[in-house]
Amino acid sequence: MQPRARNFFYLSVGMALGLSLGIAGVVLADKPDTLGKDMPWQDAQLLAEVLERVKQDYVNPVDDHQLLQSAVRGMVSSLDPYSAFLDGEDYDDLKISSSGEYTGVGIELSIQDDAIVVVAPLDGSPAAAAGIRSGDVIVTIDGVAVNSSSLADTIGRMRGKEGSIVKIGIEREGTAEPLLFSVKRQHVELHNVRADLPEPGYAYLRIAEFSDTTGSEVAAKLRELRKQNKAALKGLVLDLRDNPGGVLEAAVAVADTFLDSGVIVTAKGRTPDSNFEMDSTPGDALSGAPIVVLVNGGSASAAEIVAGALKDNHRATLMGRTTFGKGSVQTVIPLTADTALKLTTSLYFTPSGISINHKGIVPDIELPRDDAAAAAPNAEAPGSSRDDEAVRRALKELQLPTTGTHKAVSASLPIA
């Protein structure tokens, strides 16, 4: 290796993977204690050798950009299950999920038996207006066959500029020939909150996920329910089953809706920004009416923050099964080239000071697994909440005089 090339190699690797893959993987003669400030020179050399060997000897050609992107992904993903490097597409998806809105046709999709299947068109969406139905199989977009192994690719091709037209080819059971729908892309809002009155005076509120708009959606639904009931509500079933979490601030807003005082959540990390405490503000939207929160093993992250805050402040009774146990906070750090780093920066603690990470929250009232894990409806699904056995159990609990102040000693302790 030429001295100039060697110097460039040291400098590049020391600048965090900005190395030149054109440099051969030769054992270096010099042995500085560290490369840059903190990177051991042996590890940097090993990385360079591996990258060069892959580039030279792998069965298919691989370019520098692909190798380095993979190296970055592997480095971050090895930290924990929730940290990740987000490329442009992943970053866009995260921003859509967090904001609760995007420009597209409004279809919920899944992959079933190697096919892209419509789970449901969102209420009021362009897809619903065009006549696309649940169970339809998407086969083409703008005349080009879909990649049935890539949901992200199909979704990306249906999004686009507001007002533009996308032609969606569909196979429908009972129809001999494929159907072609011309759908105008529009601004679509993802509604994660559903509510109804399963019994006079008693409300049911389902939160499927926490986005930037969830707090305002909950407040609006409660106003609608009070108007529909023509009186103050006597109690609430808050359904957080299979809610994977989402935006921290949205969870705090929802908890604050039902709390008049007290801590909602605290967090501890290594930086000043990752250490914080969030407290409730005066004003309880239900004026102290009892709450039962339904949870199960799919209730995670932001959903656990709400459940923990209401439980520890003795504002609600938790019913169901032990929650997932994701007690960490991820911060999205924008990087260059429309990429970002989703990095675990804090562990959060419930108001009682307990970390639920890998433990979960034990409900006050445990339901049989079948009841607690029953498929909770998505936010826009039709049908009455009264059809759900767990909801019926919660309604009965609400009508007990002590509901909302239940203090089971065993329930205040997480389990392994």
Domain of residue 380, CATH code: 3.90.226.10
Same domain, 139 and 222: no
Distances, alpha carbon 209 to alpha carbons 203, 217, 240, 248, 298, in Å: 19, 12, 8, 11, 11
Tell me how many domains the chain contains.
3
> Which residues fall within 8 angstroms of residue 76, CB to CB, at 6 or more apart?
83, 84, 85, 341, 343
The reported pLDDT for the residue numbered 216 is 95
Which of 25-39, 121-135, 153-167, 171-185 is predicted least confidently? 25-39
In percent, the amount of the chain with pLDDT more than 90 equals 56
What is the per-residue pLDDT across 226-279, written as a single tens digit (0 to 9) for each? Answer: 999 999 999 999 999 988 888 999 999 999 999 999 999 999 999 999 999 999
Q: What are phi and psi of 134, to 5 degrees?
A: -60, 135
Q: Which residue has the higher pLDDT, 31 or 313?
A: 313
Inter-residue contact 15 to 36 (CB < 8 Å) = yes
**pLDDT higher than 70, residue 366:** yes
User: Is residue 295 within 8 Å of residue 287, measured between CB atoms?
Assistant: no
Which is more confident, 33 or 214?
A: 214
The structure tokens 């429908």 sit at: 172
Highest mean pLDDT (candidates 56-70, 338-352, 364-378): 338-352
Indicate which residue of 83, 98, 299, 301 is catalytic: 301
- Integer CA distances (angstroms), 354 to 246, 250, 269, in order: 21, 21, 15
In terms of pLDDT, which residue wins out, 43 or 415?
43
Q: According to the model, what pLDDT value does residue 407 have? A: 30
Statement: residue 147 has pLDDT above 70: yes
Q: CA 268 to CA 347: how far, in whole Å?
A: 6
- Outline where 230-343 has alpha helix (H): 248-258, 302-312
* Domain final residue, candidates 163, 189, 215: 189
pLDDT-based confidence at residue 210 (cuts at 50, 70, 90) = very high
Helix, strand, or coil (residue 18): coil
- The reply to whether 65 and 107 lie within a common domain is no
Q: Are residues 296 and 403 in the same domain?
A: yes
Q: Does residue 301 carry a catalytic annotation?
A: yes
Q: Does the annotation mark 20 as catalytic?
A: no
In a domain, 152, yes or no: yes
> Is the residue at 89 inside a domain?
no
Residue pair 296/241 in contact by the 8 Å Cβ criterion: yes
Residue 93 lies in a domain: no
- Do 19 and 122 share a structural domain? no
* Whether residue 25 is found in the same domain as residue 163: no
Q: What is the pLDDT of residue 225?
A: 97
Are 141 and 165 in contact by the 8 Å Cβ rule? The answer is: no
Pairwise CA distance, residues 69 & 72, whole Å: 5
Q: Smallest Cα–Cα separation from 126: which of 173, 90, 166?
A: 166
| Mean per-residue pLDDT, 279-294 | 97
What range does the domain containing 230 cover?
193-409
Q: 414 lies in a domain?
A: no
* All residues at 6 or more sequence positions from 298 whose CB lies less than 8 Å from its CB, including other chains: 241, 242, 243, 244, 324, 373
**Is the per-residue pLDDT at 410 higher than 90?**
no
Q: Say whether both 309 and 392 belong to one domain.
A: yes
Least confident of 345-349, 359-363, 407-411: 407-411
More confident residue, 318 or 400: 318
**Of residues 408 and 387, more confidently modeled:** 387
Domain boundary among the residues 189, 204, 237 is at: 189
Q: What is the mean pLDDT of residues 385-402?
A: 88
312 flagged as catalytic: yes
From CA 247, how far away is CA 255, in angstroms rounded? 13
- The CATH number assigned to the domain holding 144 equals 2.30.42.10
Q: Which of 136, 312, 364, 371 is catalytic?
A: 312
Q: Same domain, yes or no, for 124 and 235?
A: no
Q: pLDDT at position 261, please?
A: 96
Report yes or no on 90 lying in a domain: no
Answer whether residue 157 is part of any domain: yes
Give yes or no: residues 160 and 273 share one domain: no
Taking 60 as the threshold, does the pLDDT of residue 405 lie above it?
A: no
Q: Residues of the chain with pLDDT > 70: what percent?
A: 82
Nearest to 20 by CA among 29, 28, 10, 30: 10
Are residue 199 and residue 179 in the same domain, yes or no?
no
Whether 415 is in a domain gets the answer no
Q: Within this chain, do residues 212 and 180 fall inside the same structural domain, yes or no? A: no
Is the domain of 294 the same as that of 221?
yes
Q: What is the pLDDT of residue 205?
A: 97
Q: How many CB atoms lie within 10 A of CB 135?
A: 12
Is the predicted pLDDT of residue 79 greater than 80, yes or no? yes
Which DSSP helix (H) or strand (E) runs through 55?
A: helix 41-57
Question: 302 pLDDT band (50/70/90 cuts)?
Answer: very high
Q: How confident is the model at residue 165 (pLDDT cuts 50, 70, 90)?
A: very high
How far apart are alpha carbons 138 and 153 in whole angstroms?
Answer: 12
Give residue 395's pLDDT. 96
pLDDT value at position 412?
A: 25
Q: φ, ψ for residue 43 (rounded to 5)? A: -70, -40
Average pLDDT value for the chain: 82
Instruction: Specify which of 83-92, 145-154, 169-178 reaches the highest per-range mean pLDDT.
Output: 169-178
Check whether 148 has a pLDDT greater than 80.
yes
Per-residue confidence band for 75, with pLDDT thresholds at 50, 70 and 90: very high
Residue 100 has pLDDT above 80, yes or no: no
Are 251 and 393 in a shared domain?
yes
More confident residue, 338 or 99: 338
Would residue 318 count as lying in a domain? yes
Stated pTM of the model: 0.73
Task: Give the span between the Cα atoms of 224 and 195, in whole angstroms.
Answer: 9
| 129 vs 38, residue with greater confidence | 129
Residue among 83, 211, 299, 326 flagged as catalytic: 326
The residue among 189, 214, 247 that closes a domain is: 189
Q: CB-based burial of residue 200 (10 Å sphere; 0-12 exposed, 13-18 middle, 19+ buried)? A: exposed
For the segment 344-349, the average pLDDT, to the nearest whole number, is 96
